[in-house]
Amino acid sequence: MKKKILVIDDDLNVSDYLASLFQDKGYQVSVAGNVKEGIKLAKAQHPDLITLDIEMPGEWGPRFYRQLSQEPDLKNIPVIVISGLSGHQYAVVKAVASLSKPFDREELLKIVEEILN
Amino acid sequence: MAKQVLLIDRDKAHAEALTLYLHRKLYDAVISTSNEQTLLFLDTHALDIIIAYPFATPETGQYLLAFKKTNPLVQIIITAPKSDLDEAMDLFGLNALDYLELPVNSKALDLALARAGAQTGLLTRMDLYTGRLEDLHYARNLFNQLFEEVPCYISVQDRNLRITAANRRFKRDFGGLVGGFCYEVYKHRSSPCRECPVAATFSDGKSHTTEEIVTSKDGKQYNVLTQTAPIRNGDGEIAQVMEMSTNITQIRQLQDHLVSLGLMLGSMSHGVKGMLTALDGGIYQLEAGLDQKDDKRMNLAFGQIKNMADKIKKMVLEILYYAKSRELQYETIEVAEMTDNVVATLTPLAQKHGIKFLVSIAPDLGTIEVDPQWMEATLINFLENAVDACLFDRNKKNHQVSFTVEKKSRTDICFTIQDNGIGMDAETRNKMFSLFFTSKGSQGTGLGLFIAHRVIKYHGGTVHVDSRPGDGSQFTISIPFQKPENARIMEPPAKDKG
């Protein structure tokens, strides 16, 4: 069965890019443009991995992470932070990885592969 | 030190006898019996007293009178035979201290010498006092000049915080109200400030430093750094307190500007990182499309790359405009030429997003005197924002942007830009022209409308905004056909107040 990845980013150009990248590697991808939608999709689909932007207009990535940690069946889903915000690596300390925009494509794919396989 | 006496006499024997007598009385005396000797001694000796027969030579009297004029401290005692005394008195008058008849009576000479000593002492002291008075006058002038011209505000206040003295700069900016209360004059308040450095100095005798915001007589606000110092009376009590304030408004403005710049760099670096990631995405899609020989994917990727390149270009240009300082370069151009350029730029953008672009340009608008580069960029900026406002609006199916150009009056042209996009709430409307304000998240720099607004103001024009959330917005821009008299330089802005 295909592994599922949930991409949360307000920038459509970035989420499209991530979705194509993961789909081309054979993953099943869903995209959320904000925190509320992200929680809804996570609950509905139980993804194997989540990529999370930290700063979105009116949204704050770490809040999503706190909400996720409070759900017993979601709290163990690994989260990769992908953000343009400086200091993002300190925002979600429990993230399995923290990448800066613009990220290195190969590095991201390697991390994803390590986590999912 | 012995007093120096010059004896001028025709009779050398008499002079020598007198000299012996003077030596016994501890005076240092020299004798002159000729014009030559007299002139030499007057010139070279630091004389205190001259005892002279004024007719020793025909010129003696004139020499002595001329000498007395320039050396008023030297006392002259005239000796003459009785027959000459009247004439000597006529000649010397008050220039001689005493007139003694020859042969000289020793007691009369003693008295005359004593009087000469007393007179010299008196004159020396007076000379000293005069000198000190002159010094005092000079010091007072210097102090006054310092007080008046020092490049800061100085006021002196009594215990009730009444201003008893103020320097020129203080009076210039806050009015000449000596006798007014500090808090009234400086802060336009009716009661003392809670933390008053002057009151603190009255209470502990120490100097206090505070930063205050004060209001000038014209209502301008200044940031000032204030220092106080006690002024004590003869008994050592604090009678008054001096308050000295330095205007640091420009420094504070610069700090605000730097803070804004820091904020802008932070928000822009976030935006730029997002754009670069999206550019990477486009390149990836293009690579994948090429690998799979998928034309559709390649076309989409190319569009995405082009879009990102445009956005990055726009952002960089805005930053460059922001940093640029140049005089507006006025040219007289056809209004039609300028509006054609604007319409040509906007048409493809509107088409791409399926937005109807309605253009209405009145005929025969003639020429206008503007900086075409800035003015076109400004109109394009408003129109691009109108397109963005439509793109942000998900509630309507059909969107349109209209651009109307017409004569408002004989002197002004009017550009109207209207959209049926997302519209603005009151807060956005109020802040829309502020530096670094953006409603577009990481997609905006907060520079576009700020610059556009400045360009309009510097051209002597105005912008009227009419907008409601959900209904869209209308911008009405009026620009005079002729260059305004007070044409301005486009500067990198400090903080926008307008």
Tell me the angle at which helices B249-292 and B295-323 cross, rounded to the nearest 10 degrees: 170
Q: Which token pair is B271?
A: 């935006």
Instruction: Select the more confidently predicted residue: B315 or B339.
Output: B339
Distance of CA B233 to the CA centre of its chain: 34
Contacts of B290 (CB under 8 A, 6+ apart): B298
ipTM of the complex: 0.79
**Helix, strand, or coil here: B11?**
coil
pLDDT at position B443, please?
60
Q: Would you tell me which residues 47-86 of chain A have a C-beta closer than 8 angstroms to some C-beta of chain B?
A: 55-57, 84-86
Average pLDDT over residues B169-175: 90
CA–CA separation, B277 and A101 (whole Å): 6
Express each pLDDT in A83-97 by its tens digit.
Answer: 877 666 666 667 888
pLDDT at position B436, please?
61
CA–CA separation, B229 and B239 (whole Å): 11
Is pLDDT above 50 for B339?
Answer: yes
What is the band of B364 on the pLDDT scale with cuts at 50, 70, 90? confident
Chain A residue numbers with beta carbons less than 8 Å from the beta carbon of B442 are 11, 55, 57, 84
**Helix, strand, or coil here: B117?**
helix
Average pLDDT over residues B378-388: 89
pLDDT at position B133, please?
94
Element (H, E) at B413: strand B412-419
**Helix, strand, or coil here: B474?**
strand
Q: Which of A25, A34, A59, A101 is the best substitution to test chain B (most B C-beta atoms within 10 A)?
A: A101
Q: Is the Cβ pair B273, A84 closer than 8 Å?
A: yes
Q: Would you tell me which residues 228-287 of chain B have a C-beta closer than 8 angstroms to some C-beta of chain A?
A: 266, 269-274, 276-282, 284-285
Q: Is the Cβ pair B276, A17 closer than 8 Å?
A: no
Fill in the DSSP letter of residue B181: B
pLDDT at position A58, please?
65
**Helix, strand, or coil here: B326?**
strand
Express each pLDDT in B269-323 by its tens digit.
Answer: 777 888 888 899 999 999 999 999 999 989 989 988 988 888 887 777 777 766 6
CA–CA separation, A45 and A62 (whole Å): 21
Q: Cα–Cα–Cα angle for B382, B385, B389, nearest 5°?
A: 140
pLDDT at position B496, please?
39
pTM of the prediction? 0.46
Nearest CA of chain A to the CA of B201: how many Å?
47
pLDDT at position B494, please?
42
Q: Cα–Cα–Cα angle for B214, B217, B220, nearest 5°?
A: 55
Is pLDDT above 80 for B256?
Answer: no
Average pLDDT over residues B166-193: 88
Is pLDDT above 90 for B238?
Answer: yes
Angstrom CA distances, B130 to B70, B71, B124, B133, B262, stand at: 17, 16, 10, 5, 64
Residue positions counted in chain A: 117
pLDDT at position B397, please?
86
Q: Which token pair is B325?
A: 């300082």
For chain A, list residues with pLDDT below 50. Answer: none
Distance of CA B198 to the CA centre of its chain: 25
Is pLDDT above 50 for B495?
Answer: no
Average pLDDT over residues B354-373: 90
pLDDT at position B267, please?
64
The answer, for A100 touching chain B at a CB cutoff of 8 Å, is yes
End-to-end alpha carbon distance in chain A: 12
pLDDT at position B498, please?
33
Instruction: Select the more confidently predicted residue: B203 or B496.
Output: B203
Express each pLDDT in B181-198 by its tens digit.
Answer: 999 888 888 899 888 999
pLDDT at position B444, please?
63
What is the band of B262 on the pLDDT scale with cuts at 50, 70, 90? low
What is the band of B492 on the pLDDT scale with cuts at 50, 70, 90? very low
Q: Would you tell me which residues 423-452 of chain B have a C-beta closer than 8 angstroms to some C-beta of chain A?
A: 441-442
Is pLDDT above 70 for B345?
Answer: yes
Number of Cβ within 10 Å of residue B468's Cβ equals 12
Fill in the DSSP letter of residue B484: P
| Burial degree of B132 (CB within 10 A; 0-12, 13-18, 19+) | exposed
Average pLDDT over residues B470-488: 85
